[in-house]
């Protein structure tokens, strides 16, 4: 393995993988080497550009901590997260579609009873969200776990607000015997993904805006069913057709309807106008 040139280098690297003991690792590494080398050849990368790329990836790693995941953001904004999601969730027709997980999930959200308010310490329009968890026949799924997270009425996740010392706009609910669950929150608004890390200048260089259309994140799981990580989007949002992370699907959009003061669907008496939204989730059976 000497005197390697532009035309022999790729095969020389691929040859080193022949001794790999892990077939899947070998398949992935071979493809990665082939595509990387082809990419470098295709654009005739300069040394300066390669060094900038290394600096970019270094800065991406350095931006990560327990509350910030710049690599997820990079994957999301390049459409890789949605591609991995699509390949791994080929659910049958009619099952609730999945979308991007995003970097703002926090484990350990409080387990709450139906009707609880998950947005007691943040601003925003009070909103009653009701939902049902159903199977492929439309029959209720009781005892499903529904993990919820979203921004406040100004477009911030709790982890982005330094003054908060407890979780906000996060909770875990369980569907009742009729598959129903419900909670109070604030109406989500569209918001920019963080642009103070390397992903910000990258979007700028691409001529793109950083906004996501308003949505609530859901993660549902129930015994015997495939788990679903998804969002419910607010109908009419101006960013539905230009989501910075390519996550919008028509089937996930629902109306958030403003109601006058009065008694809400769950019996709560509201002295001010409020918002109501509803979504039925359909879980695919787990055949594994």
Q: How many CB atoms lie within 10 A of CB 66?
A: 7
Closest CA to 74 of 55, 56, 99: 56
Q: Does 76 bind ligand BEZ (CB under 6 A)?
A: yes
Residue 210 Cβ, how far from ligand BEZ at the closest point, in Å? 9
* Least distance between ligand BEZ and beta carbon 103 (Å): 5
How far is Cα 75 from Cα 180, in angstroms, rounded to an integer?
Answer: 34
- Site membership for ligand BEZ, residue 85 (CB under 6 A): no
Stretch that binds ligand BEZ, among 52-60, 96-104, 168-176, 200-208 (CB under 6 A): 96-104
Q: Is 100 in the site for ligand BEZ (CB under 6 A)?
A: yes
Task: Name the residue nearer to ligand BEZ (CB basis): 115 or 200.
Answer: 200
**Binders of ligand BEZ in range 46-75 (CB under 6 A):** 73
**Separation of alpha carbons 84 and 5, rounded Å:** 34
Q: Is 82 in the site for ligand BEZ (CB under 6 A)?
A: no
Please count the residues of this chain forming the interface with ligand BEZ, following the rule CB under 6 A. Answer: 9
Taking CB under 6 A as the binding criterion, the range among 43-51, 95-103, 133-141, 277-285 that sits at the site for ligand BEZ is: 95-103
The Cα 114–Cα 139 span in angstroms is: 20
Which of 228, 245, 253, 277: binder of ligand BEZ (CB under 6 A)?
245
8 A C-beta contact, residue 93 and residue 63: no
- Told to check if 104 binds ligand BEZ by CB under 6 A, we report yes
103 touches ligand BEZ by CB under 6 A: yes
Q: What backbone phi and psi angles, to 5 degrees, belong to 200?
A: -60, -60
214 near ligand BEZ (CB under 6 A): no
Long-range CB pairs of 31-40, under 8 A, 24+ apart, other chains included: 34/10, 37/9, 37/10, 37/13
Q: Does 144 bind ligand BEZ (CB under 6 A)?
A: no
147 binds ligand BEZ (CB under 6 A): no
Nearer to ligand BEZ, 76 or 85 (CB): 76
- 159 binding ligand BEZ? (CB under 6 A): no
Does 153 interact with ligand BEZ (rule: CB under 6 A)?
no
**Stretch touching ligand BEZ by CB under 6 A, among 102-110, 123-131, 180-188, 260-268:** 102-110
**Should residue 233 be labelled a site residue for ligand BEZ when binding is judged by CB under 6 A?**
no
Q: Which is nearer to ligand BEZ, 102 or 153 (CB)?
A: 102
| Closest approach of ligand BEZ to the CB of residue 200, in Å | 12
In the set 63, 74, 98, 102, which binds ligand BEZ (CB under 6 A)?
Answer: 102
Are 170 and 119 within 8 A, CB to CB? no
Q: Which residues bind ligand BEZ (CB under 6 A)?
A: 73, 76, 100, 102-104, 193, 212, 245
């Amino acid at each position: 393995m000497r005197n390697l040139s532009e035309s022999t280098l790729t095969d020389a690297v691929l040859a080193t993988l022949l001794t790999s003991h892990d077939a899947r690792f070998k398949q992935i590494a071979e493809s990665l080497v082939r595509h990387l080398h082809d990419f470098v050849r295709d654009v005739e990368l300069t040394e300066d550009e390669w060094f900038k790329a290394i600096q970019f990836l270094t800065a991406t790693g350095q931006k990560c901590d327990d509350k910030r995941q710049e690599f997820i953001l990079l994957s999301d904004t390049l459409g890789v997260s949605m591609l991995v999601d699509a390949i791994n969730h080929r659910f049958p027709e009619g099952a609730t579609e999945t979308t991007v997980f995003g970097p703002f999930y926090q484990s350990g959200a409080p387990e709450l009873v139906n009707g609880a308010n998950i947005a007691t310490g943040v601003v925003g329009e009070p909103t009653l969200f009701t939902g049902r968890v159903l199977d492929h026949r439309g029959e209720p799924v009781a005892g499903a776990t529904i993990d919820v997270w979203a921004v406040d009425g100004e477009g911030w996740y709790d982890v982005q607000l330094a003054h908060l010392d407890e979780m906000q706009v996060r909770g875990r609910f369980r569907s009742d015997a009729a598959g129903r669950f419900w909670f109070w929150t604030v109406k989500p608004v569209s918001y920019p993904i963080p642009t103070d890390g390397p992903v910000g200048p990258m979007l700028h260089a691409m001529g793109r805006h950083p906004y996501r259309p308003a949505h609530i994140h859901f993660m549902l799981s129930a015994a015997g069913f495939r788990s679903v990580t998804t969002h419910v989007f607010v109908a009419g949002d101006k960013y539905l057709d230009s989501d910075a992370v390519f996550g919008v699907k028509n089937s996930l959009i629902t109306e958030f309807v403003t109601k006058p003061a009065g008694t809400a669907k769950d019996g709560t008496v509201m002295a001010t106008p409020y918002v109501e939204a509803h979504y039925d989730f359909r879980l695919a059976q787990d055949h594994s």
